[in-house]
Amino acid sequence: MVIVLLVVVVILLLVTLTLLLRGDRRFSPLEYYARGKEVGFSVSEARAILNICRLTGMSDPTAALWSIRELDSCIRAFGKKFRAEGRERDRATLQFMEKLYEFRKKLEFEQPKYRAGITSSRYIRANQRIRILVEGIGIYSSTVIDSNERYLVVSYPVGGKIPAGFQWKGTRISVYFWRQDDAGYVFDTYVLEDLRIRDIPVLQLGHSESLLRTQKRKSLRVRSRMPAYLYLLKRLEGAYEKPERVPGLKCVVQDLSEDGVSVLIGGRAKVGLLVKAQFYVGDDQLVISGTVRATEYDAEKSQSLLHVEAVLPSPRMRNMIRAHVYNVGPGDSARPAAELDEQAFSV
């Protein structure tokens, strides 16, 4: 035990001495490899990262082990290198890239914006989508239109059939919502008013200072508007990532993550459907299969937004998804999805 402590003390002294003597020099091999070991990279993996950083012209490769921006440059360079060498499908390459992406995700969720939650509904902003639960009646979808010190103004709830004689005013409800870059929340409140503003029906909800923070985001999700095909499945086992050869139902991918996808379709759809979404991002064909966990129906447009929980993707598919979620895929200096016109792919 004493020997182990001495070794640890010696290592700490060396690191400290290196930092003190570093002066104006931008790179310290000792500091670099110490950081690499700390975050879980082997010596050979750290050496590979060091070499790719030097090829990209990075003055201090250690920054790639601390900075998201520098790490993204490193991952992008690895992707181009492995493609050029024809090694992007090799098992060792997939494992190494997966390790890089896991570290990238860890750095992402260490940022303060993912750690700081909210405690009051007064922090909810306009355009926030919410789900309203009325006990014994059903769950409805709505959107926050405005928020002031006294109440929230939300769009008229849509969803299941409302019983005859039901009145929103005075009803106790539970409100669920997912705050972007944060987590899910739920709170109980009352409907203060059921009225019209400029001839638009809205509800006024009382504020709550007792928000319960539920599950935190486990993967980064990116907004998009990509044309895709959707297929109904009988089961998820088997070729859930095998591309279909015939066109399916036209849809639009609204957001994407390694955990799932949201797609916009025409008409209604039921929770529990097994589906496969197939689309291209650049030269990569992504295929994501899973279960529809929630739907949001827009009666005015006769469209449904399906929230699909994905089957765990294979390492190759997961790495391709992450490449585009983190915007480090080939030619991803700007997201192609942002340039697409949703009307050109009407469902």
- The CATH number given to whatever domain includes residue 340 is 2.40.10.220
Residues 227 and 327 in one domain: yes
Residues 108 and 129 in one domain: no
Per-residue model confidence (pLDDT) at position 335: 43
Mean pLDDT (whole number) for 128-133 = 92
On whether residue 73 sits in a domain, the answer given is: yes
Residues 234 and 340 in one domain: yes
Q: Does position 235 have pLDDT exceeding 70, yes or no?
A: yes
Per-residue model confidence (pLDDT) at position 172: 95
Last residue in a domain, options 180, 210, 240 = 210
Residues 127 and 105 in one domain: no
Residues 174 and 206 in one domain: yes
On whether residue 155 sits in a domain, the answer given is: yes
- 68 is in which domain, residue-wise? 2-113
Per-residue model confidence (pLDDT) at position 295: 84
Backbone φ and ψ for 302, nearest 5 degrees, come out as 55, 50
Looking at the structure of the chain, the number of domains it has is 3
Nearest to 231 by CA among 218, 221, 222, 241: 241
Least confident of 22-26, 102-106, 235-239: 22-26
Q: Does position 193 have pLDDT exceeding 60, yes or no?
A: yes
Model confidence over 57-79: pLDDT tens digits? 888 999 999 999 999 999 999 99
Residues 228 and 174 in one domain: no
Last residue in a domain, options 113, 142, 163 = 113
Model confidence over 289-305: pLDDT tens digits? 999 988 888 777 888 89
Backbone φ and ψ for 289, nearest 5 degrees, come out as -115, 150
Residues 159 and 204 in one domain: yes
Q: Does position 178 have pLDDT exceeding 90, yes or no?
A: no
Burial 93-110 (b: 16+ CB within 10 A, else e): bbebbeebbebbbeebee
On whether residue 294 sits in a domain, the answer given is: yes
Least confident of 114-123, 136-145, 271-280: 114-123
Q: Does position 8 have pLDDT exceeding 60, yes or no?
A: no
Neighbours of 207 (CB within 10 A): 17
Mean pLDDT (whole number) for 227-233 = 95
Per-residue model confidence (pLDDT) at position 344: 29
Q: Does position 7 have pLDDT exceeding 60, yes or no?
A: no
Confidence of residue 24 (pLDDT cuts 50, 70, 90): very low
Residues 265 and 296 in one domain: yes
Residues 88 and 142 in one domain: no
Q: Does position 211 have pLDDT exceeding 70, yes or no?
A: yes
Task: Tell whether pTM > 0.85.
Answer: no
Per-residue model confidence (pLDDT) at position 17: 55
Model confidence over 321-339: pLDDT tens digits? 999 888 887 655 444 433 3
Confidence of residue 184 (pLDDT cuts 50, 70, 90): confident
On whether residue 183 sits in a domain, the answer given is: yes
Residues 263 and 329 in one domain: yes
- Average pLDDT value over all residues in the chain: 84
- The CATH number given to whatever domain includes residue 160 is 2.30.110.10
Q: Does position 22 have pLDDT exceeding 60, yes or no?
A: no
Residues 108 and 51 in one domain: yes
Q: Does position 16 have pLDDT exceeding 80, yes or no?
A: no
On whether residue 201 sits in a domain, the answer given is: yes
Residues 204 and 227 in one domain: no
On whether residue 164 sits in a domain, the answer given is: yes
Last residue in a domain, options 73, 88, 113 = 113
Q: Does position 203 have pLDDT exceeding 90, yes or no?
A: yes
Mean pLDDT (whole number) for 142-163 = 90
On whether residue 147 sits in a domain, the answer given is: yes
On whether residue 331 sits in a domain, the answer given is: yes
Per-residue model confidence (pLDDT) at position 332: 54
